[in-house]
């Protein structure tokens, strides 16, 4: 089974939901940059306060900071992993390539969870996290389309990308993910 996995997709596509499912079944390390950043905010450090000011507006946190977080968690880890919400920019993807080459852990597969904007907005409004207000969601989607969506072609050109439509039940989508993991 493929065990170095990257989940790519817009906010609300179900990356976190599917990641939880998969890591509990397969014992992979789950690295969600969103969760790790929210933990830093919760800890109330001065770095956490700076991060909170960006997250609440739906802005991206700096590439350097998220890369440092991912590096800290991946270095020394020997089993499989699932990256969720990272990378989010071409810069982050290139930095990740460099890091993974250094630690000899290439990506096995990039799963792109796709869903149309109307359904994403509906899901996120129902969830109601601090950054799930309509104007902020729309801003997160703009950032996704301009800065993150170019990663689709980036990983396609490396023959790593598999697209899965993130519509339907959580179980159906999980089954489609399992199929492509082998
Ligand atoms: P992050 O936490 O990564 O949020 P996101 O990418 O906006 O993704 P979401 O958590 O909103 O959606 P998801 O795809 O995980 O969907 P979920 O499973 O939760 O990032 C938040 C912020 O952190 C960013 O805006 C940025 O500020 C910062 N950040 C994070 N990473 C960064 C990085 N690399 N660089 C810079 N900044 C970074 O599902 C959503 C809802 O839908 C849930 O309620 C769920 O129950 C429901 N749902 C899921 N699947 C289904 C289904 N099949 N049917 C119906 N409902 C479903």
Residues 119-145: pLDDT tens digits?
999 999 999 999 999 999 999 999 999
Measured from the Cα of 58, ligand 1's closest atom is 25
CA of 26 to the centre of ligand 1 (A): 21
Please name every residue paired with 161 in a beta bridge, in sequence order, or none if there are none. Answer: 110
Nearest to 130 by CA among 34, 25, 56, 72: 56
pLDDT at 76: 87
Here the tokens at position 91 are: 């810069």
pLDDT tens by residue, 37-86: 999 999 999 999 999 999 999 999 999 999 999 999 998 898 999 999 99
CA of 158 to the centre of ligand 1 (A): 25
- Give the domain extent around 68: 4-181
Banded model confidence at residue 93, pLDDT cuts 50, 70, 90: very high
User: How many helices (H) and strands (E) are present in the chain, helices listed first?
Assistant: 9, 5
Tally of domains within the chain = 1
Mean pLDDT of the chain: 96
Q: What's the CA gap between 29 and 169, in Å, rounded?
A: 24
pLDDT at 2: 93
Handedness of CA 20, 64, 104, 39 (dihedral sign): negative
pLDDT at 101: 95
User: Residues with beta carbon inside 6 Å of ligand 1?
Assistant: 9, 11-17, 33-34, 37, 54-55, 58-61, 66, 85-86, 88, 92, 123-124, 127, 131, 140, 169-170, 173
Q: What's the CA gap between 103 and 82, in Å, rounded?
A: 16
Instruction: Kindly report the CATH number assigned to the domain that includes residue 155.
Output: 3.40.50.300
Here the tokens at position 37 are: 């950043």
Mutate to test the pocket of ligand 1, among 56, 123, 135, 170 (most ligand atoms within 8 A of CB): 123
User: What is the helix (H) or strand (E) element at residue 32, kind and residue range?
Assistant: strand 29-32
Mean pLDDT of 142-157: 98
Q: Tell whether the model's pLDDT for residue 97 goes beyond 90.
A: yes
Provide the Cα torsion 82, 83, 85, 87; round to 10°. -150
CA of 146 to the centre of ligand 1 (A): 17
pLDDT at 96: 97
pLDDT at 132: 97
Share of the chain above pLDDT 90, in %: 95
Question: Do the beta carbons of residue 92 and residue 86 sit within 8 Å?
Answer: yes
Banded model confidence at residue 148, pLDDT cuts 50, 70, 90: very high
């Amino acid at each position: 089974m493929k065990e170095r996995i990257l989940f790519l997709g817009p906010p609300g596509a179900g990356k976190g939901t599917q990641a939880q499912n998969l890591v509990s079944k397969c014992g992979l390390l789950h690295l969600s940059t969103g969760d790790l950043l929210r933990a830093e905010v919760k800890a109330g450090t001065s770095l956490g306060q700076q991060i909170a000011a960006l997250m609440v507006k739906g802005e991206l946190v700096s590439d350097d900071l998220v890369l440092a977080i991912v590096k800290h968690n991946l270095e020394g880890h020997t089993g499989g992993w699932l990256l969720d919400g990272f990378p989010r920019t071409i810069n982050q993807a290139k930095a990740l390539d460099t890091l993974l080459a250094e630690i000899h852990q290439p990506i096995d597969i990039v799963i792109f969870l796709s869903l149309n904007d109307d359904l994403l907005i509906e899901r996120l409004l129902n969830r109601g996290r601090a950054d799930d207000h309509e104007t902020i969601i729309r801003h997160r989607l703009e950032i996704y389309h301009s800065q993150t969506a170019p990663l689709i072609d980036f990983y396609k050109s490396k023959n790593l990308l598999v697209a899965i439509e993130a519509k339907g039940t959580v179980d159906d989508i999980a089954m489609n993910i399992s199929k492509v993991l082998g």
